[in-house]
Amino acid sequence: MKRPLGAGKKAGAADGKTIDPFRLPRDRAFWRETLAAYWYLIPAFLVLGTFVFYPFFSAFKLSLFKWSSLNPPGTFIGFENYRYIFHDKYFWRAMGHTFYYVGITVPVTLALSILVATLLNQGLRFLSFARTSFFLSYISPVVAMAMVWRWMYNVDYGLINYFLSFFHIDAIAWLNDPRYSLPAVILLSVWHYVGYQAIILLAGMQSIEQQYYDAAKVDGASGFQTWWKVTVPLLSPQIFFVFIISLIGSFKVFTEINVLLSGPGPLRSAETLVYYIIRSSGRIDHATNHIGRAAAASVVLFGIIFVFTIIQLTLTQKRVHYD
Amino acid sequence: MLRKLTLVGLAAVMLFGMAAIAQEPVTIEFWHAMSSGHQPNLQKLVDDFHAAYPYITVTLVYQGNYGALQGKIDAAVVAKNLPAIAQVYENWVTPIASILYPIGNFMTDAEKADIIDGLVPSNTYNGVLTTVPFNKSIMVMYYNKSLVTTPPTTWAEFLELAKALTVDVDGDGKIDRYGTAFRPAANPEQFLIFLEQAGGSILNADWTEVTLNNDAGKAAVEFVGSLIPFSYITSEYMSDHIKDAAMFVDTSAGIGYNVKAATNAGFELGVATLPAGPANFNSMIQGTNLAVFNTENLTQAQKDAAVLLAKFLIRPENTVFWAEKSGYQPVVKSAYNTQEWLNWVATHDYQIQMSEQMLNSFSQILHPNYGDMRNVLSSGFDEIMRGVVPPLEGLESMAAEIEALLE
């Protein structure tokens, strides 16, 4: 991860000068290469600019306006939309639900996917079948999958309550009880993403060179010690990758909730930030469109994800081993 | 003589000229949210329209569900690229009422008077009939015929029956079947019906004051509060819980799903008009209207063609065809006396109750913040029915939140 500064310094040490590779002489060749690089970057920049940067800055701009369909973007009202959402009890509830969802979904999915990847890495006879089976949950469309889970959660005929009845647990109204609606979504999400994350981790595990395991064996390490001291550290780039991806994805949960609960759940118990944003924009239940408020909430969500990503990058950099 | 001839000649030229102008081919887009089951029937109506007006071509554009249609219309307003005609909910177009082309200005008084009374206020903007009703459903009472012999006709009877039909069948201390059911979060209209039946409303006539928590509002919320112990509360469709309640108020558009669920559960489902409150037994109409847009991207010929289409679709024979095929209700009074409709009713007895309810109805208010108000009612009604807040306290809280929306 660190820049190869040492190489430049060593090269320059012979004639007594220190050459900084980031301060190369700016001759014609340098400018030609730089220009060429920009040409290659243009397509990506155009796509990112149109679909990522422009919408982001546009959302920030809209968050400062009281939206008007007839005269967009409407009246400039400064930070009034932010003041409104910060005083809206449903915004804070949505924030709480989002952190609850992320706080459970991300670590549980990651832990399970490490476990699944480890099991799949044990040289199973039907490895490709097992791999495909786990991956199927991820490639199934979310809407179709949520419809199936609706049936599984059915209070009277659902598969889940049927299994619980073996342990003499009373039928749970998963989708109609405010205490269980969000856990129901979490369970579905964990099932959905575990296969995807496990496949990435499995690929990572299979790329770990045998010599490390051989060395551990020579040193007399037990199976668990080898896993903990060799596999997990060398898997850290992949773990780090799925952790970030899963964190960002979890903060943006919407479809699972909307389909599974046909709305924000009883007493809005599963209304997350993205659900709040979409509701504020008037896209649900013929609501009034407060584009400005929706934009303000989405800027806040961006800020939260940004901060978390920075924290993760900083904290995990020390613990991620790339070789 | 020569002068007369000249005048006749001029008149003839003008007539032919106008005819020629009128016959100029014109194409319009009709944005709708009618899913695949309804599309062939909508296409049939459009084909009939083409036969009646050969110079007009209507392109049906399916925009997805209502949320998607609303989004497309909002975007088209900003992009100044609206279709000539679209399905709209009342509060979608209130903020953009100034760019609607008032269809009522091109209707005779008799045509306007033919629209069902409960539908007129929700299509009238600034005193002018601007949109016209299209696909409309009404909330009615569904009941399990094996449990309810005579459906309740008053609030008192409703409460009494709900109480009697709430039972613990297997004696395990838990209620297995409730007298009635509510979907408060998904269907706050269930509360608005009791409010209307008590003689109340969300706001006063000129939208300057919240009247939700006046005496009528209190009577309504106390009545639904008294039903809580005998009510199954869900946010899912009633067809998924058909066995959980003996009777429930639900949309007429759900008849197909509800009857199928009841048949699968082994009983027959009846339909009745709603039990009457202190003021009336009115029910709430839901569904969209047709709006013609008056924007620069549309030519006069396109706007005229769209008005013709809107008027055509609510003709008695067409609204009857649409109702028979779609399950929505006819939107003009004269449709209910056509032989076609009477024949239909003769073989679909639930329609008698639905038709009677349709003629005793009300619609949502046109306030631009109605969407927000409905959100408040949805959350508040859910909290009341799930016992989180006492009914009167919940009512005051909803009134305060709606008050803030008037500013």
* CATH number of the domain that residue B345 is part of: 3.40.190.10
Alpha-carbon span B150 to B88, nearest angstrom: 38
Q: Residues B71, B182: one domain?
A: no
Is B235 an interface residue toward A (CB < 8 Å)? yes
Write the DSSP string, B37-92.
TTHHHHHHHHHHHHHH-TTEEEEEEE--SHHHHHHHHHHHHHHT---SEEEE-HHH
C-alpha to C-alpha distances, B11 to A57, B20, B24, B150, B335, nearest whole angstrom:
61, 14, 20, 67, 38
Is B278 an interface residue toward A (CB < 8 Å)? no
* Residue A241: how many other CB atoms lie within 10 Å: 15
- pLDDT value for A139: 87
User: What would the pLDDT profile of A142-173 be if each residue is shown by its tens digit?
Assistant: 899 999 999 999 988 899 999 999 999 988 99
Name the residue type at position A128: S
- H or E element that contains B26: strand B26-32
Evaluate whether B403 touches B203 at the Cβ level (below 8 Å): no
Q: Residues B120, B197: one domain?
A: no
Evaluate whether B133 touches B249 at the Cβ level (below 8 Å): no
Written as tens digits, the pLDDT of chain B (407 aa) is 556 655 555 555 454 444 445 578 999 999 999 987 889 999 999 999 999 999 999 999 999 988 889 889 988 998 999 999 999 998 888 888 999 999 999 999 999 999 999 899 999 998 999 999 999 999 999 999 999 999 999 999 999 999 999 999 888 888 999 999 999 999 999 999 999 999 999 999 999 999 999 999 999 999 999 999 999 999 888 998 999 999 999 999 889 899 999 999 999 999 999 999 999 999 999 999 999 999 999 999 999 999 999 999 999 999 999 999 988 999 999 999 999 999 999 999 899 999 999 999 999 999 888 888 999 999 999 999 999 999 999 999 999 999 999 97
Query: What is the least distance, in Å, from the CA of A131 to any CA of chain B?
Result: 36
- pLDDT value for A322: 59
Is A178 an interface residue toward B (CB < 8 Å)? yes
Q: Residues B131, B141: one domain?
A: no
Residue B108 inside a domain? The answer is yes
For CA atoms B105, B109, B114, B119, the dihedral sign is: positive
Query: What is the least distance, in Å, from the CA of A168 to any CA of chain B?
Result: 14
Chain B stretch 388-407, residues whose beta carbon is closer than 8 A to a beta carbon of chain A: 388
Give the end of a domain, one of B343, B361, B379. B361
Instruction: Identify the burial level of B302 via C-beta atoms within 10 angstroms of its C-beta, where 0-12 means exposed, 13-18 middle and 19 or more buried.
Output: buried
Is A70 an interface residue toward B (CB < 8 Å)? yes
For CA atoms A87, A90, A91, A96, the dihedral sign is: positive
Is B99 an interface residue toward A (CB < 8 Å)? yes
If you search the block for the tokens 């008050």, which residue do you land on? B403
- pLDDT value for B6: 57
Q: Residues B49, B72: one domain?
A: yes
- pLDDT value for A12: 43
Q: Residues B219, B131: one domain?
A: no
Q: Which CATH superfamily is domain A80-317 in?
A: MetI-like (1.10.3720.10)
Cα B53-B58-B59 angle, rounded to 5 deg: 165
Domain ranges of chain A: 5-62, 80-317
Residues of A in contact with B235 (CB under 8 A): 175-176, 261-263, 265-266
Q: Residues B183, B246: one domain?
A: yes
Q: Residues B173, B251: one domain?
A: yes
Residue B305 inside a domain? The answer is yes
Alpha-carbon span A270 to A177, nearest angstrom: 11
Residue B5 inside a domain? The answer is no
- H or E element that contains B398: helix B391-406
Alpha-carbon span A25 to A29, nearest angstrom: 9
Among B367, B377, B370, B94, which residue's Cα sits nearest to residue B212? B377
Q: Residues B150, B117: one domain?
A: no
Contact B95 A68 (CB under 8 A): yes
- pLDDT value for B274: 98
Residue B4 inside a domain? The answer is no
**Candidates A262, A286, A289, A290, partner chain B, best to mutate (most B CBs within 10 A):** A286
Contact B371 A288 (CB under 8 A): yes
How many domains are contained in chain B?
Answer: 2
pTM of the model: 0.84
Evaluate whether B140 touches B283 at the Cβ level (below 8 Å): yes
- pLDDT value for A18: 59
If you search the block for the tokens 């609706």, which residue do you land on? A150
Residue range of the domain that includes B176: 137-285+364-406
Q: Residues B103, B78: one domain?
A: yes
Q: Residues B167, B58: one domain?
A: no
Residue B9 inside a domain? The answer is no
Query: What is the least distance, in Å, from the CA of B90 to any CA of chain A?
Result: 9
Alpha-carbon span B162 to B245, nearest angstrom: 9
Residue B390 inside a domain? The answer is yes
Contact B96 A69 (CB under 8 A): yes
Chain B residue with the nearest C-alpha to that of A271? B379
* Residue A107: how many other CB atoms lie within 10 Å: 13
For CA atoms B253, B257, B260, B264, the dihedral sign is: negative
Chain A residue with the nearest C-alpha to that of B188? A285
Q: What are phi and psi of B146, to 5 degrees?
A: -80, -15
Is B89 an interface residue toward A (CB < 8 Å)? yes
Q: What are phi and psi of B140, to 5 degrees?
A: -130, 175
Q: Residues B399, B257: one domain?
A: yes
Written as tens digits, the pLDDT of chain A (323 aa) is 444 444 444 444 445 555 666 666 778 888 898 899 999 999 999 999 999 999 999 999 999 999 887 888 899 999 999 999 999 999 999 999 999 999 999 999 999 999 999 988 887 777 778 778 888 888 889 899 999 999 999 988 899 999 999 999 988 999 999 999 999 999 999 999 999 999 999 999 999 999 999 999 999 988 889 999 999 999 988 998 899 899 999 999 999 999 999 889 999 999 999 999 999 988 776 677 899 999 999 999 999 999 988 888 887 776 666 55
Q: Residues B369, B250: one domain?
A: yes
Chain A residue with the nearest C-alpha to that of B236? A262
